[in-house]
């Protein structure tokens, strides 16, 4: 037992130190990038992880056969003798204990006289067999053992819900994490109620599967890693309302104004150099040719008209067909170009 406590202590210290290091690194790197609730929720995950470790390492389910290192088919007399010897209880000349074992142990030993009870022992654990005095069937033991794992699943679901609360950027992972918990609960119910009931105990009792202990360990491993994985998964950007887009929009507008002022100098420099002028002419010619392929396609024109984005037909140099009005998209594009040309001329004049 001291060795188990020391292992839990060192593991807890290592996990806490790693948590403190990551928290300090994140806070020193970029405080504004993390949500305000991140330190609080990460502390909840830390406490939950330590609690799961304590339950799995320090307080595992009791198992009489594993403790005494005896097969599942060991006789009750042999188990009683080993318990008396381990407890250091004095015996008389006939080998009987001078002090009676606790009532719970005596009740458990009486239950183990039945082969069916030993089968139920592997499925529902020692606690259910030892404490449920009114249970007489597997259904009774299943109902008796249900609250503890159910409460554990609810607790883990609550932790995951806290971690994926709104504003943390983890909302999209909530469905996946809770679905994993639900699937694990269904698999555990199937293993306990159906699968374990069909596996017989070996004749010599060695190698018997302790379903309850294995499922307990797997459940706690899942509860330990799932919140940690959820909180370290990448965050998604959250919508903060229209005001959240004003600073980026203002920054883009300032950059656009700077580029517009720079455009007149760039255009002049391109026209002065023969190589750049030739490359620019080739690019615009290729762009015009590729654009005309798409604009002159009748299928594209009909589809654009159906979508309310008509741009044809094409007429003379002024862009007006013979007695046919221009499309809405082309009219809008023409107005935008005229506006840009006016703004560009104003920039050149300044």
Q: What is the DSSP string of 191-239?
A: IIIIIGGGSPPPTT-TT---HHHHHHHHHHHHHHHHHHHHHHSPP----
- Find the farthest-apart pair of alpha carbons in the chain and give their distance in angstroms, rounded: 125
- C-alpha gyration radius of the chain: 38
Q: Which residues contact 197 (CB under 8 A, 6 or more apart)?
A: 119, 123, 138
Return d(Cα 85, Cα 73) in angstroms, integer. 20
Return d(Cα 220, Cα 23) in angstroms, integer. 25
Yes or no: say if 50 and 12 are a contact pair by the CB < 8 Å rule: yes
Q: Which residues contact 179 (CB under 8 A, 6 or more apart)?
A: none
The crossing angle, in degrees rounded to 10, of helices 298-306 and 274-295 is: 70
Give the domain ranges of the chain. 2-232, 251-349
Q: Which residues contact 156 (CB under 8 A, 6 or more apart)?
A: 48, 181, 222, 223, 226, 227
Query: Reduced to 3 states, what is the DSSP secondary structure of residue 32?
Result: coil
What are the distances in angstroms from CA 83 to CA 11, 66, 69, 133, 135?
31, 13, 12, 22, 25
DSSP letter assigned to residue 297: -
Return d(Cα 193, Cα 61) in angstroms, integer. 19
Yes or no: say if 226 and 177 are a contact pair by the CB < 8 Å rule: yes
Query: Reduced to 3 states, what is the DSSP secondary structure of residue 97?
Result: strand
Taking phi over 0 as left and psi of -120 to 50 as alpha, with beta for the rest, 205 belongs to left
Residues of the chain scoring pLDDT < 50: 31-33, 239, 315-323
Output phi, psi for 91, to 5 deg.
Answer: -120, 155
**First and final CA of the chain: distance in angstroms?**
86
Query: Reduced to 3 states, what is the DSSP secondary structure of residue 50?
Result: helix
Residue 31 confidence (pLDDT): 46
Residue 38 confidence (pLDDT): 72
Output phi, psi for 296, to 5 deg.
Answer: -85, -5
């Amino acid at each position: 037992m001291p060795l188990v406590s020391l292992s839990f202590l060192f593991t807890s210290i290592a996990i806490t130190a790693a948590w403190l290091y990551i928290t300090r690194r994140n806070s020193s790197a970029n405080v504004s990038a993390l949500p305000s609730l991140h330190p609080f929720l990460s502390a909840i995950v830390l406490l939950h992880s330590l609690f799961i470790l304590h339950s799995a390492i320090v307080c595992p389910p009791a198992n009489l056969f594993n403790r005494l290192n005896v097969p599942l088919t060991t006789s009750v007399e042999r188990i009683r003798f080993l318990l008396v010897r381990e407890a250091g209880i004095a015996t008389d000349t006939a080998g009987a204990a001078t002090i009676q074992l606790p009532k719970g142990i005596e009740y458990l030993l009486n239950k183990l006289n039945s082969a069916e009870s030993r089968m139920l022992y592997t499925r529902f654990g020692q606690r259910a067999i030892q404490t449920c005095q009114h249970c007489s069937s597997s259904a009774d033991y299943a109902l008796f053992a249900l609250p503890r794992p159910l409460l554990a699943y609810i607790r883990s679901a609550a932790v995951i819900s806290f971690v994926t609360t709104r504003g943390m950027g983890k909302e999209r992972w909530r469905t996946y994490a809770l679905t994993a918990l639900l699937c694990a609960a269904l698999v555990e119910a199937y293993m306990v109620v159906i699968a374990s009931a069909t596996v017989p105990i070996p004749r010599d009792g060695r190698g018997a599967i302790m379903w309850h202990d294995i499922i307990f360990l797997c459940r706690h491993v899942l509860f330990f890693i799932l919140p940690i994985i959820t909180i370290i998964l990448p965050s998604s950007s959250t919508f903060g309302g229209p005001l959240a887009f004003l600073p980026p929009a203002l920054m883009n507008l300032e950059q656009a104004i700077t580029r517009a002022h720079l455009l007149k100098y760039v255009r002049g420099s391109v026209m002065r150099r023969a190589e750049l002028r030739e490359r620019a002419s080739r690019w615009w010619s290729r762009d015009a040719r590729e654009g005309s392929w798409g604009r002159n396609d009748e299928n594209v024109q009909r589809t654009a008209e159906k979508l309310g984005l008509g741009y044809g037909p094409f007429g003379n140099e002024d862009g007006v067909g013979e007695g046919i009005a221009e499309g809405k998209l082309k009219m809008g594009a023409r107005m935008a170009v005229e506006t840009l040309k006016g703004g560009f001329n104003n920039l050149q004049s300044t």
